[in-house]
Amino acid sequence: MRVFSFYQRVSRAFHDYPSFSKLIVIFTVSSGGLVAYSDSKSHHGANNVNLSQTDCKKKRVVVLGTGWAGTSFLKNLDSSVYDVQVVSQRNYFAFTPLLPSVTCGTVEARSVVEPVRKIIRKKKEEIRFWEAECTKIDAAKKEVHCRSVQKVGSDGKEEFIVEYDYLVIAVGACANTFNTPGVEENCHFLKEVEDAQRIRKSVIDSFERASLPNLSEEERKKVLHFVVVGGGPTGVEFAAELHDFVNEDLVKLYPKVKDLVKITLLEAGDHILNMFDKRITAFAEEKFGRDGIDVKTGSMVVKVTDSVISTKEMRIGEISSVPYGMVVWSTGIGTRPVIREFMNQISQTNRRVLATDEWLRVEGCKSTYALGDCATINQRKVMEDIAVIFDKADKDKSGTLTVQEVQDVIKDIQIRYPQVELYLKNRRMKNIVDLLKDSKADDEKKSLELDIEELKSALSQVDSQMKNLPATAQVAAQQGAYLARCFNRMEECEENPEGPIRFRGEGRHRFHPFRYKHLGQFAPLGGEQTAAQLPGDWVSIGHSSQWLWYSVYASKQVSWRTRFLVISDWTRRFIFGRDSSRI
């Protein structure tokens, strides 16, 4: 079909050239003006928001969340095809990678946020936004229960129900405390913009408190002991930012207490930044050592009171406690209550996040999609389908596969099972024929006919390559864009997009499963030095990567307004330093 092949070409362009999609995204977001949006159809007092009255032909899509996944979905969706409503407890999008910079005033909070209404008003058709928290998803009735974040009158917060035909769940995740006693009550988290603002105030408070006249030296030391829990990218970046803030700005303003400052980074594993290349880990640990940041690996926090933090040395099992002034907890993500409740409802009980298939459809729940930090893709195993694959490939029904027969189906197999490609890449093999040859005994290599047992043994290790995608903005944004493209072509996507396993001559997959394209990751380490790990395991560390970081983060901004603000914040910091006023 012509339309389909055009779509395939476009989607391939998106897939093959991420810069193309970036160009389009940047263009879309930057073309709007700066006029404030006012929602003329504000729905106060309505208890049941039913769009079928306004337009019964259009299907109702409800999107939960305005983070990376939700916003990317909305920006790419053809809103003229659907009646779209968005429910989120915050009326802005936050550029989370810059939150550590907000904690120390390198970048201002308002520079990293963009009002959702400004993003959605650029769409062809009106998209309605409700600033509310979704408290319950009722999959049977296709309703979401919402509670406004605004206080309405004396009866408290208004509650209402939104009905949907399709639900897109993109509510992200919450901080994970691993039920460690005292964490919730005594630690700062770094998930939201408000968290970053609270941390900034608290750091400055600590310096003012430590400068008061009647404190003993011990008390001053305690107040100026900053503890960061978690040696992942966020914890490491925050520790580095804090170190820079103290050493570049605060030491000049608080000269009497500057020598009492201590920053400790606690990590339960053997190394910090363990998801990065070993060279980056080693460089970061060494740099932090030189900077005087006390990195304690193999140290698990077991309890936090209002004045001391207790850790267990993983090697010897010994528990020790140290007084602290402030703790920032950054140890990964947990499940939001609304998602946990929903998972119980649809019998996904023993999981941490919502399981979806490769088309982002929630398992066990029709017309519901989940993406971003609240979901994980349950990738189909090759071994589960090996008999079907063999049967389809064996066109002449000879009971064996020839090289030609394998070659005819390989492209489809690689699309359906991305782990095959990954496996070949890791084994440095050009194609699957090499793999099949490899599995044969030397004397049998000449004849490349395979029976099912031989095919099984050749592909037996392939599924070991399956990995969950990381909980990152990159994944969330790509999933949002992908799902919007699915929605824009729902007629191909809705009913059985995977088809039966289809092979050449019989037509291809109706709609490609989601495929993540990793564009690299950064770990800012302070002192204008950043570690970058780019695709192909290309590692670069130092000042040049810091400039790459500046340019990538400037280009990824959601609008020209935030881009301008962020760049001007960086410039201001270079010239005047960070501001330490406690406001």
Residues engaged in binding ligand FAD (CB under 6 A): 64-70, 87-90, 96-97, 99-100, 133-134, 170-172, 190-191, 234, 336, 338, 372-374, 471-474, 476
Taking CB under 5 A as the criterion, the residue among 373, 394, 494, 569 binding Mg ion is 394
CA 36 centroid distance within chain: 29
CB 67 within 8 A of CB 372: yes
User: Cα(94)–Cα(340) distance, rounded to whole angstroms?
Assistant: 24
SS3 103: coil
Q: Which two tokens stand for residue 389?
A: 């694959």
Please, which residues bridge with residue 93 across strands? 114
Minimum CB separation of residue 173 from ligand FAD in Å reads 7
Minimum CB separation of residue 560 from ligand FAD in Å reads 21
Contact status: 185 vs Mg ion (CB under 5 A) = no
Q: Which does 474 bind (CB under 5 to 8 A by kind): Mg ion, ligand FAD, none?
A: ligand FAD
Nearer to ligand FAD, 67 or 231 (CB): 67
Minimum CB separation of residue 88 from ligand FAD in Å reads 4
SS3 308: strand
Residue with token string 């528990």: 319
Nearer to ligand FAD, 210 or 371 (CB): 371
CA dist 440 to 210, 372, 447, 454, 527, Å? 72, 42, 9, 8, 54
CB 335 within 8 A of CB 353: yes
Contact status: 393 vs Mg ion (CB under 5 A) = no
Q: Tell whether the torsion through CA atoms of 554, 559, 562 and 564 is positive or negative.
A: positive
Residue 440: half-sphere exposure toward Cβ, Cα within 13 Å:
16
Cα angle, residue 71 at apex, residues 65 and 75 outer, rounded to 5° = 145
Q: Which does 285 bind (CB under 5 to 8 A by kind): Mg ion, ligand FAD, none?
A: none
Minimum CB separation of residue 202 from ligand FAD in Å reads 16
Q: Which two tokens stand for residue 426?
A: 């890791």
Q: Which does 89 bind (CB under 5 to 8 A by kind): Mg ion, ligand FAD, none?
A: ligand FAD
Nearer to Mg ion, 306 or 396 (CB): 396
Q: Which does 396 bind (CB under 5 to 8 A by kind): ligand FAD, Mg ion, none?
A: Mg ion
Nearer to Mg ion, 358 or 394 (CB): 394
Minimum CB separation of residue 449 from Mg ion in Å reads 8
Residue with token string 């000269």: 255
Taking CB under 5 A as the criterion, the residue among 398, 460, 568, 571 binding Mg ion is 398
Contact status: 396 vs Mg ion (CB under 5 A) = yes
Nearer to ligand FAD, 472 or 580 (CB): 472
User: Cα(466)–Cα(471) distance, rounded to whole angstroms?
Assistant: 16
For residue 311, give the nearest of 299, 328, 295, 323 by alpha carbon: 299
Minimum CB separation of residue 56 from ligand FAD in Å reads 26
Minimum CB separation of residue 75 from ligand FAD in Å reads 13
Residue with token string 């319950």: 136
Nearer to ligand FAD, 372 or 497 (CB): 372
**Binding residues for Mg ion, per CB under 5 A?**
394, 396, 398
